Amino acid sequence: MSAEVMNLSIAQIEERTFIGKVYRWMGIGLFLTAITAYFVASSESMVNMLASNSILFFGLLIAEFGLVIYLSARIQKMSAETATAAFIIYSVLNGVTLSLLLLIYTGASVASTFFTTALTFSAMSAYGYFTKRDLTTMGSYLQMGLIGLIIASVINIFWANGTMYWIISYVGVLLFVGLTAYDTQKIKKMGTMVEGVQVTQKMAIMGALTLYLDFINLFLMLLRILGDRK
């Protein structure tokens, strides 16, 4: 076996090891979120606390947003242990805020929507991983679209327009389907460049957070469309 082929094989092994670590941490994050949401939704006192205290609820949302910003901005300077802890805390906090969905939508529709999300996410992530097409240009448009979606969502909180609600939901599904493929390809490329245990762990956490956010947001958009309210 030539040195070039051997180096290629080693690079492929490292890339697959890195991708595997990303998906494992993403799975851990989703598991923690699901368990936390179920636990909170099963506690009448905790539900009442969240539902009756808007300052607490929005404080948790702000804390989640702050953790994402913190991880994104400080990932290079923090330790792998700190990055891992921040991701775990974020996953748990997200479970707390998402717990109210279990009270709004029927359990059957939540389960079926989660299954639909998992299939859609898996298909698009596989496409992003195996395609030979460079998705960089598509990613730029998707990110601009995401900014527009966020602005439209904030405006519609105050406007409360039903038509806009459905437009945001369907456009959101398309955006996060595309972002899943784009982010997967980006993370795959990242796997060929990381070196060292600490750096690998930190980049795996960032990759897991990115795909976790794609999955959760795709799930929320699909739930708005497919979910049956109680």
The domain tally of the chain equals 1
What would the pLDDT profile of 89-123 be if each residue is shown by its tens digit? Answer: 999 999 999 999 888 999 999 999 999 999 999 99
Note down the domain range covering 194. Answer: 3-226
pLDDT of amino acid 5: 47
Q: Which residues are CB-neighbours of 18 under 8 A, at least 6 positions away?
A: 190, 191, 194, 200, 203, 204, 207
Query: How many Å apart are CA 144 and CA 148, to the nearest integer?
Result: 6
Tell me the pLDDT tens digit for each residue of 21-73: 999 999 999 999 999 999 999 999 999 999 899 999 999 999 999 999 999 99
Question: What are the CA-CA distances from residue 146 to residues 13, 18, 103, 167, 173 (Å)?
Answer: 33, 27, 28, 13, 11
